[in-house]
Chains A and B, each alone.
Chain A
């Protein structure tokens, strides 16, 4: 109430000042300005202030329209330049992917590139030839666990004996996925601006798929929405590890679920020590073993976790599987990610999703220095 009163008093003083100024201007101009009472003065001043405000608002609106017109003109000119068009298109895709990843939530298994690759495989009719019946993308999707494992295995057998049925099932899902994810599946937009928007939206969907595909492991929205499609997982896929040359017992062990109680891969290594002036001890356990630092995707088989660990940790070479049998990344011919790949694939999903690269920057000095191994 008091504030309103002070505001009214201030307005009245401003109006009076404006009126006096107008009166002075009128006299100098030889004009006759009749203000016979204090009320006339305030009313005249208030009108002057109102007129000034209206002129200002119109000027702002005009400037905004002009600015938009200039931006559209610049966009149209950019669209005519092949170099600028290509750069802008790439930028729209990258920005869209990042936006999609952030939009999609917290879970991904193997990063944006791998999830987008899987989406492409799902819609590629030649994938059956390239990957073989056991690793065909639609078949991978139905491989599941527990009592679903049997259904998955039956589905695999059915798929091998009747591939068309799997294709039909996958297509009914993949059709919409393809439109949402594959730029070639929808016609180009008629304008460059529209094309940028189309690429941005598709890239966002691709980004979000990274989380949806990962969330299939935990029965997330992707799994729930699609009937008959279960986990993207090698839990239970003994055949994969047999094919890698492990004994039956070793393959069975590698195909089991990576225990939640195991430590996974640490983005900032556990061996990292604080400087002496901060106590010199290890990093706080709450951070070191927390979700922002530990890469341990849910629903992953032991074998797959070891592969991921090998690719992102230059100091992990392999391990014993069972007594008398070892797992070696070198012997399996695996390739490690480079520094940028390690930053992306090695950072836990919450770190990626929430820090959007800030966490990677914070860990870079420690993480990348692991690369500096002495050569004999």
Chain B
């Protein structure tokens, strides 16, 4: 049973970073997780505000029906970006079907927005 998936994609999102002389004041990618947040909320999930993980990316804590999920978006280049998704519900026997359903929703959200392209890495449900 897998707890995490790694999705790779190309991104046409505008660079929303903010810099000063010392470096990023706001790391890029908040606009990407905002899109994911809106899409998941429309599908009945409860989603946290974007969590700033600095150089690691932007994260979201997600839940529905007492099941918890997590995702992180890491932007590196227009042709190298990552979306990590995890099933975080604490359980001796994690519910793979619930995670598969979450991933299916995520895949649909990415597929509906043309700024995500060359998406790969979603597992084939058993």
Q: Which residues of A are in contact with B by a Cβ distance under 8 Å?
A: 253, 259, 262-263, 270-276, 280, 306, 309, 315-320, 322-324, 326-328, 330-331, 369-370, 372-376
Q: Which residues of B contact A (CB under 8 A)?
A: 1-6, 15, 17, 19, 22-24, 27-28, 53-57, 59, 61, 66, 68, 70, 72, 74-77, 80, 82, 84, 86, 88, 90, 120-124
Query: What chain A residues lie within 8 Å of B59 (beta carbons)?
Result: 271
Chain B contacts of A272 at CB under 8 A?
Answer: 88
User: B76 is contacted by which of A315, A317, A374 (Cβ under 8 Å)?
Assistant: A317
Q: Are B123's CB and A253's CB within 8 A?
A: no
Contacts of B124 in A (CB 8 A): 376
CA A316 to CA B56, docked complex, whole Å:
6
A273-B90, A306-B55 given as contacts; is B5 within 8 A of A324 (CB)?
A: no
CB atoms of A262 and B19 under 8 A apart: no
Which residues in B have their C-beta under 8 angstroms from that of A370? Answer: 3-4
Q: A263-B54, A273-B90, A323-B19 are in contact. Are A373 and B5 (CB under 8 A)?
A: yes
Compute how far the CA of A331 lies from the CA of B77 in the bound complex, rounded to whole angstroms: 11
Residue among A263, A331, A374 with max Cβ neighbours from chain B (10 Å): A374
Contact yes or no, B80 A326, CB < 8 A:
yes
Find chain B residues with CB under 8 A from A320 CB.
17, 24, 27-28, 55, 75-76
- How far is B51's CA from A263's CA once the two chains are assembled, in angstroms? 13
In the assembly, what is the distance between CA of A315 and CA of B59, in Å?
12
Chain A residue contacts of B123, Cβ below 8 A: 374-376
Report B110 CB to chain A, min CB distance, Å: 14
B70 proximity list for chain A (CB < 8 A): 271
A317: chain B residues at CB < 8 Å are 74, 76, 80, 82
Given A271-B59, A274-B90, A315-B84, does the pair A376, B75 have CB atoms closer than 8 Å?
no
Instruction: Take A320-B28, A328-B76, A376-B123 as given contacts and tell me if A271 and B3 are in contact as well, using a CB distance cutoff of 8 Å.
Output: no
By the criterion CB–CB under 8 Å, are B15 and A376 in contact?
Answer: no
Determine the chain B residues whose CB is within 8 A of the CB of A280 once the complex forms: 68, 90
Q: Which residues of B contact A273 (CB under 8 A)?
A: 68, 88, 90
